[in-house]
Amino acid sequence: MMLLLQSLSRQGTKDSDTIILFSILLVLFIIFFIPTKKSSRKRYSISLSFIHTTFAVFLVLTFLPFAIYDFIDRIPLWTRYLIVFLGIMVWFFLPLLRNITSYVLIVYFYSYVIYWKVYEASIFDSPFSAELFHRLLFVSGFALWIVPLVTASHVRLMHVYNR
């Protein structure tokens, strides 16, 4: 509890501000989700889909670090390792889910890095350090950037191989 109060006082945020942030992002996500699915014009559909996806990414990348603190941080360490292990196994043995699993693992890693910075807590028994945080943030940002390229090249190579 002391760590939470220290983090929130350092940030200057209240619980109500956090709830408002997540509520606004969720409402905007839902508002743009409905017209995205109902739109018949391609030009509008692409724009609405981009906006819808942007709000979905904002919601996920801001909500997950707080969810890790509230829920995942309270489960045993071996269970957190099991989640990562199962994600890696799904990635290796189910190629049809490889794209989705890649994004889930990268976002999971990114969320832990952001959680580590926000709460300055220990992750997997590693204490917080600014230098390691910057390195991990760079790695997670690079992974978020490179996964679509690897996925696209993998799909293209499969099409070439199947010819």
CA distance 115 to 162: 43
Considering the domain architecture, whether residues 155 and 118 belong to the same structural domain is answered as yes
Considering the domain architecture, whether residues 34 and 114 belong to the same structural domain is answered as no
Q: 3-class DSSP state for residue 128? A: coil
Considering the domain architecture, whether residues 6 and 58 belong to the same structural domain is answered as yes
User: Residue 39 above 70 pLDDT?
Assistant: no
Considering the domain architecture, whether residues 46 and 75 belong to the same structural domain is answered as no
Quick one: 84 exposed, middle or buried, by C-beta within 10 A (0-12, 13-18, 19+)? middle
The helix or strand, by DSSP H or E, that contains position 162, with its residue range, turns out to be helix 130-162
Q: pTM for the complete prediction? A: 0.61
CA distance 17 to 23: 10
Q: By residue range, what is the domain housing residue 160?
A: 71-163
- Of the three residues 64, 83, 110, the one that is the final residue of a domain is 64
pLDDT of residue 7: 53
Considering the domain architecture, whether residues 102 and 31 belong to the same structural domain is answered as no
User: Residue 142 above 80 pLDDT?
Assistant: yes
pLDDT of residue 43: 65
**How many domains does the chain contain in total?**
2
- Of the three residues 14, 33, 64, the one that is the final residue of a domain is 64
pLDDT category at 158 given cuts 50, 70, 90 is low
Cβ pair 55, 68 in contact under 8 A: no
pLDDT of residue 11: 54
pLDDT of residue 140: 76
User: Residue 77 above 70 pLDDT?
Assistant: yes
pLDDT of residue 4: 52
- Of the three residues 64, 84, 114, the one that is the final residue of a domain is 64
Cβ pair 85, 79 in contact under 8 A: no
CB atoms within 10 A of CB 51: 17
pLDDT category at 3 given cuts 50, 70, 90 is low
Q: What is the mean pLDDT of residues 30-58?
A: 77
Owner of token pair 């939470």: 4
pLDDT, tens digit (0-9, with 9 covering 90-100), for 80-126: 788 888 888 887 888 777 778 877 877 777 777 777 777 777 766 67
Q: What is the mean pLDDT of residues 10-20?
A: 67
Higher model confidence: residue 76 or residue 120? 76
Considering the domain architecture, whether residues 80 and 130 belong to the same structural domain is answered as yes
Considering the domain architecture, whether residues 97 and 151 belong to the same structural domain is answered as yes
pLDDT of residue 75: 79
